[in-house]
Amino acid sequence: MSKPNSYRAGPDVAGRFGSHGGRFAAETLMPLILELETAYRAAQADPGFRDELDYYLEHYAGRPSPLYFAKRLTDHFGGAKIYFKRDELNHTGSHKINNCLGQMLLARRMGKTRIIAETGAGQHGVASATVSALFGLPCTVYMGEVDVERQQPNVFRMKLLGADVVPVGSGSRTLKDALNEAMRDWVTNVDDTFYIIGTVAGPHPYPELVRDFQSVIGDEAKQQILQAEGRLPDTLVACIGGGSNAMGLFHPFLDDDGVNIIGVEAAGDGIETGRHAASITGGRPGVLHGNRTYLLQDDDGQIIEAHSISAGLDYPGIGPEHAWLHDVGRANYVSATDADALAAFQLCSKLEGIIPALEPAHALAHVAKIAPDLPRDHIIVMNMCGRGDKDIFAVAEMLGVKL
């Protein structure tokens, strides 16, 4: 494949990133999806929209998030210099708030009066419930029954924020089914409802607009690393569920040739066991949830349930722009197992005083793999996209600790 002039030009007018992306949606939703695109283009052209978003990002979410040199982990691995982009310090505890604020402002511009969202780990659900409380709109969050069980603290948090949490009992009862159910709600309530999708997936223009709202991560990180080190990083590392925190970090660096980009998928029990959530490593292109991308599926095109210790990574697909970056070779996609992530979770807590979410613990697990063999002047920026408060009960159980 020939190298494009820019890796940041996508998607095309049809919402494609190479052969991925698109608008594979039911007719009932299509007029709305087109209206969303029109509204988004108008918002992009309106400086007032950006100003308002920046206001809330700064004064409500607490941006910019710090870029922190993780000295003790760096010393521990004895190789590359490790920086964390501290998006776990955002209000609500993850990067999800960046996107929710953006989509909420868009929903208000469109005159929508009701919010729906899907959630896996509950972080996107909490962020959606939060912005709904902030702007006084009713919010319904769909969450798989399995995830409701393993993310109890976030379920209660959403309820405190005034959201309706609907447990989804269909299919595999995890994130993909929550997404199906949110789509079913949307198709039923097209007139008044805005669907805040939580990752860089779904029909065009969602992958694009979620990426744009998350790119604040990479934009800040670029300035911050230039200030700290006087140069760009050598390697970026981020975990991938649908891929929004990763795309937010990666996108501003895509045209910086020297920057090596690594996305870390969840390998669950191990790729070879078949019980994992690594769509690029273990999947094939297919069409689900409005776009073409790499999917975990059987020979007959039936979707295979994903498996991961992390509810936020437990998704059988990946955002279409990542699928394309993989195809053209601009980014590398690797994986980390449950056990690797659990070890990284504990190491980070002890050495840095930062309890990471299980999702970025996967990114850290890969950093742990590569950092020791890299030279001391090699700079890694890893997205610490969420804090682990939500995970402590689940982790305690896995470690056999009774609370």
Partner 1 sequence: MSAMRGGRTRIEARFARLRTEGRAALVSYVMSGDPDLETSAQIMAGLPAAGADIIELGMAFTDPMADGPSIQVAGLRALKAGITLSKTLAMAAEFRRHDTETPVVLMGYYNPIHAFGVPAFLAAAQTAGIDGLIVVDLPPEEDAELCLPALQAGLSFVRLATPTTDEKRLPAVLANTSGFVYYVSYAGITGAGSVDADTVASAVARIRQHTDLPIAVGFGIRTPEQARDIATVADGAVVGTAFTDAVRGSLDPDGKATATTVAAVLDLTRALAAGVAAAASEG
Ligand X SMILES: Cc1ncc(COP(=O)(O)O)c(C=O)c1O
Amino acid at 382: M
Q: Which of 297, 299, 362 is nearest to 333 (CA)?
A: 362
Nearer CB in complex with partner 1: 184/378? 184
Nearer CB in complex with partner 1: 74/297? 297
- For partner 1 (CB under 8 A), the number of binding residues is 39
| CA distance linking residue 270 with residue 59, whole number of Å | 42
Shortest Cβ 66–partner 1 spacing (Å) = 40
Closest residue to ligand X, judged by C-beta, is: 386
| CA distance linking residue 140 with residue 257, whole number of Å | 43
**Contact indicator for 110, 79 with CB cutoff of 8 Å:** no
**Contact indicator for 244, 99 with CB cutoff of 8 Å:** yes
Instruction: Tell which one of 15, 207, 242, 283 touches ligand X (CB under 6 A).
Output: 242
Nearer CB in complex with ligand X: 197/374? 197
Binding of partner 1 by 51 (CB under 8 A): no
| CA distance linking residue 291 with residue 144, whole number of Å | 21
φ/ψ of 65, rounded to 5, equals -80, 150
Binding of ligand X by 235 (CB under 6 A): no
Shortest Cβ 247–ligand X spacing (Å) = 8
My answer on whether omega of the bond before 167 falls inside 30° of 0, hence cis, is no
Shortest Cβ 248–ligand X spacing (Å) = 8
Nearer CB in complex with ligand X: 198/286? 198
The helix-helix angle for 96-109 and 30-44 (nearest 10°) equals 100
Q: Residue 241 touches which of ligand X, partner 1, none (CB < 5 to 8 A by kind)? A: ligand X
x/- map, 146-185, partner 1, by CB under 8 A: ------------------------xx----xx--x--xx-
φ/ψ of 164, rounded to 5, equals -90, 120
φ/ψ of 50, rounded to 5, equals -60, -40
Binding site for ligand X (CB under 6 A): 94, 120-121, 123-124, 199, 239-246, 312-313, 357, 359-360, 385-386
Binding site for partner 1 (CB under 8 A): 14, 22-32, 170-171, 176-177, 180, 183-184, 187-191, 284-290, 292, 295, 297, 299-303
